Structure 1
Amino acid sequence: MTTSPIDLDPPPAAPLWGPVFALVWLFYLLNPLEDAWKQRDTVSGWVGIVATLAFAVVYAAMFLMLRWKRVPGSPFTATASPLVGLGAVVTEVTLGVVICVAVGQSGTATAVYIAVTCMICLETRLAWALTALVAGATYGATLVVDGWSEDRGILFGILVAGLAIWGIGQAINRNIEVLAVREENARLALDDQRNRFARDLHDILGHSLTVITVKAELAQKLLDVDPERAKAEVADLERLSRDALADVRRAVEGYREMTLPGELARARMALQAAEIEADLPNSTDDVPSEVRELFAWTVREGITNVIRHSGARSCAVRLTATSAEVADDGAGPGSSVPGNGLVGLRERANALGGAVVTTALEPGFSLKVVVG
């Protein structure tokens, strides 16, 4: 029984292994070549030798041309034009018939290669039709030609060769589709990350820079009219600038690190995703620098509990210079035992001389941190 040449997309590090492994299957043409060589003292013997060598050259040339012409990563489809592919099949069929006439039944080994050529050169339906025709004609010949014996193995070999090449093509196409989907997902994830980063930077800096601009214009106007007030505005301007710079540094050095504007931006996204109506402040300018991180932790812990446990339909965050509160209209935490997040929040509040206050509302729940 004859087996089929099989080709897989080679790894980039070894681009020549594919052709080597595929063309080594030409070894099975040694049987008709040997039979022809035994008859080299006759015309049919030399016809068999030349036809067998020509068949090997045509098959190898077509295979290598299609392989090199195919763009890496492109689907496993017929790369040659229909006429070129059909011409290659007709040429191989003609040479195969000549070999069979010249050397006998051993020439039927060429039928397996013809099936492979059909699969790699022609459209699928036409390829299967011709493969079935070649298989039927070859097996039929083993039944009716004088001196030949029935060979079911050649029938099986032809069909399996076609099926193997078709299956490999389908597997390559599926792998290409999977890789394309992965690349598209990676691109979309990168775009989403860029969009979120841009949105968060806008949330962090947009209002602060607007206030800084307004205060700078006001201070400039007050320099000659009210120097004391202008001095206060400049001091406030310096504080806002330092806070904005600190927020940007944290965002750039460790994207999504703990910052109050960043946590508000995350809270807005999280509540929207949970389909909870959000009432969030547009500014953090009134919050002193020394308590911003604590209030950021308050927002994170409060929003996390609202989404996980409350079943709320709306949530509000309120900020002042001395307090941060997260309130909702849900069912509350659902447990009287404080979680690790609340324990950690109390430790942070205590370190700054503050306190955590939890209150049951009608309906809802309030988590509040007060300092000073």
Structure 2
Amino acid sequence: MSGRARLAAMTPAPVETASPVARDDERRRPLFVALVWAVILTPTAAGVYQQHYPVVWAVLGYLSLVAFLIAYYYVFTQAVAARRRGVEVPCAIRRFGFVVLCLLASLVVGFAGENGVVMWFALSQIALVVMPRREAWATIGSICVAVVLVPWSLGLDWEVNVWFLVAILGSSWATDAIFRLRDTNRRLVRAQEQIASMAIEQERLRFARDLHDVVGHSLTAATVKAQLARRMAGTDDDRARAELREVEGLLREALKDVRGTVAGYRDVTLTSELVRAATVLEAAGIAAELPGAVDHVPADRREIFGWVLREAVTNVVRHSQARHARITVTAGAIEIWNDGADGGSPGSPSSSGLVGLRERVEAAGGTLQAGPDGTGGWTTAAMMVT
């Protein structure tokens, strides 16, 4: 097996994980939605009371409303769980579950009267969760028709006007847009993670290839000459010493090549990092203001400013949830500002990087400041002592 193959085999595949906070939010969301609908359906419960039913019928009306909320919660949680796994909502939920919700909603409307029409509003929302987009909109259209025709066909004098239909269609459009945006964001995040993983893998393979190509020949030659010197020892000492001198020269050359390879691997310039920052911020959807030129920055400060820019931009993309960033460069300082919480406080994921960056800046004769700016944003700045 070649060195590249061994390195690829040892490199673990990226695993998609969610933070504990994200997992908690996912678990709480269905309960939050159920509570919201419980509040929205309060007028429906009042409608049951206003009908002045006998106690038994009133209890049945309230039980049908509670049953609807329980079924709504169950169908919603199952559908969201399927979407989170990236699979289609099970047919039992998409068909049978929605039919049960329709039957319960009809029962509630029968008990609550005109105040129960909000049930159709709830059905239009859950249709977008459990069904494919085209099927959901066809269902929403059917609900709008039912909202108008059912009271008319039964001769009920309900004040179901056009504004209620507009509310159903408008809220459904907004919910549909939110779902599509979330799906797009998830695909973008997965694509970015895959691109980052592929870039890391390619860089590892490139570095392994460079080391093999640069050092392999010298070490192979040194090994052969060392073996020859060992065989000549005691029989031709002059030849053995000559071979050992050549081995020493080859090893020095190999060490020089290793240092050159590592130096090229760690090479950082302000200009290249500005280009990288523009690309990374754009890919992350962050509007960026960058300097047009950095010719005024002294040559001995461009590398350290490049390191500051690299770490700061990495933190902005990975930890801040920012929407806007601004990079300012003067002859003696560089400042990176963003309108999100960067997460560079002690114990955060980016704190260790800032600690190393501060040591690097101080070693170059400057100071580093990183923290909230007091307006909800975050600023990372390095100032060089003149």
* Bin for the TM-score computed over the shorter chain: 0.5 to 0.7
Q: 1:57 aligns with which of 63, 70, 75?
A: 70
Query: Could you tell me whether the CA contact under 8 Å between 2:47 and 2:114 is conserved in 1?
Result: no
- What is the match of residue 100 of structure 1? 109
Amino acid at match of 1:206: G
- What is the match of residue 152 of structure 1? 162
Secondary structure at the counterpart of residue 92 of structure 1: helix
Q: How does 1:59-138 map to 2 (within 5 A)?
A: 59-67=72-80, 69-70=81-82, 72=84, 74-75=85-86, 78-79=88-89, 81-138=90-147
Mapped to 1, the partners of 2:83 and 2:128 lie a distance apart of 18
Cα offset, 1:26, TM superposition:
2.6
What do the CA deviations read for 1:23-76 (whole angstroms, capped 9, x no partner)? 213312111211212324365533322222221221122213333x3374x44x
Secondary structure at the counterpart of residue 178 of structure 1: helix
Q: Classify 1:53/1:246 alpha carbon distance in 2 versus 1 (closer, same or farther; 3 Å).
A: same
Q: Classify 1:107/1:78 alpha carbon distance in 2 versus 1 (closer, same or farther; 3 Å).
A: farther
Q: Classify 1:101/1:15 alpha carbon distance in 2 versus 1 (closer, same or farther; 3 Å).
A: closer
Cα offset, 1:216, TM superposition:
2.1
Q: 1:248 aligns with which of 239, 258, 275?
A: 258
Cα offset, 1:175, TM superposition:
0.9
- What is the match of residue 11 of structure 1? 22
Amino acid at match of 2:129: I
Mapped to 2, the partners of 1:96 and 1:15 lie a distance apart of 27
Unmatched 5+ stretches in structure 1: 1-9, 259-372
- What is the match of residue 218 of structure 1? 228
Secondary structure at the counterpart of residue 159 of structure 2: coil
- What is the match of residue 60 of structure 2? 47
Mapped to 2, the partners of 1:222 and 1:53 lie a distance apart of 95
Amino acid at match of 1:219: A
Q: Classify 1:255/1:70 alpha carbon distance in 2 versus 1 (closer, same or farther; 3 Å).
A: farther
Mapped to 2, the partners of 1:34 and 1:257 lie a distance apart of 70
Q: 1:202 aligns with which of 206, 212, 233?
A: 212
Q: Classify 1:196/1:57 alpha carbon distance in 2 versus 1 (closer, same or farther; 3 Å).
A: same
Mapped to 2, the partners of 1:25 and 1:257 lie a distance apart of 56
- What is the match of residue 311 of structure 1? none
Q: Classify 1:142/1:256 alpha carbon distance in 2 versus 1 (closer, same or farther; 3 Å).
A: same
- What is the match of residue 192 of structure 1? 202
Mapped to 2, the partners of 1:13 and 1:90 lie a distance apart of 30
Greater radius of gyration (CA): 1
Mapped to 2, the partners of 1:13 and 1:55 lie a distance apart of 25
- What is the match of residue 297 of structure 1? none
Query: Could you tell me whether the CA contact under 8 Å between 2:45 and 2:65 is conserved in 1?
Result: yes
Q: How does 1:282-297 map to 2 (within 5 A)?
A: none
Secondary structure at the counterpart of residue 70 of structure 1: helix
What do the CA deviations read for 1:274-295 (whole angstroms, capped 9, x no partner)? xxxxxxxxxxxxxxxxxxxxxx
Mapped to 2, the partners of 1:208 and 1:17 lie a distance apart of 61
Mapped to 2, the partners of 1:146 and 1:26 lie a distance apart of 26
Mapped to 2, the partners of 1:161 and 1:143 lie a distance apart of 24
Mapped to 1, the partners of 2:221 and 2:78 lie a distance apart of 68
Cα offset, 1:143, TM superposition:
4.5
Are positions 1:31 and 2:43 aligned together? yes
Unmatched 5+ stretches in structure 2: 1-20, 268-386
Q: How does 1:264-275 map to 2 (within 5 A)?
A: none
Q: Using structure 1 for the length normalisation, give the TM-score.
A: 0.58
Mapped to 2, the partners of 1:111 and 1:71 lie a distance apart of 23
Cα offset, 1:186, TM superposition:
0.8
Amino acid at match of 2:44: P
Give the share of equivalent positions with the same residue, in percent.
26
Mapped to 1, the partners of 2:136 and 2:25 lie a distance apart of 30
Amino acid at match of 1:237: V
Q: How does 1:307-322 map to 2 (within 5 A)?
A: none
Secondary structure at the counterpart of residue 89 of structure 1: helix
Q: Classify 1:122/1:45 alpha carbon distance in 2 versus 1 (closer, same or farther; 3 Å).
A: same
Secondary structure at the counterpart of residue 265 of structure 2: coil
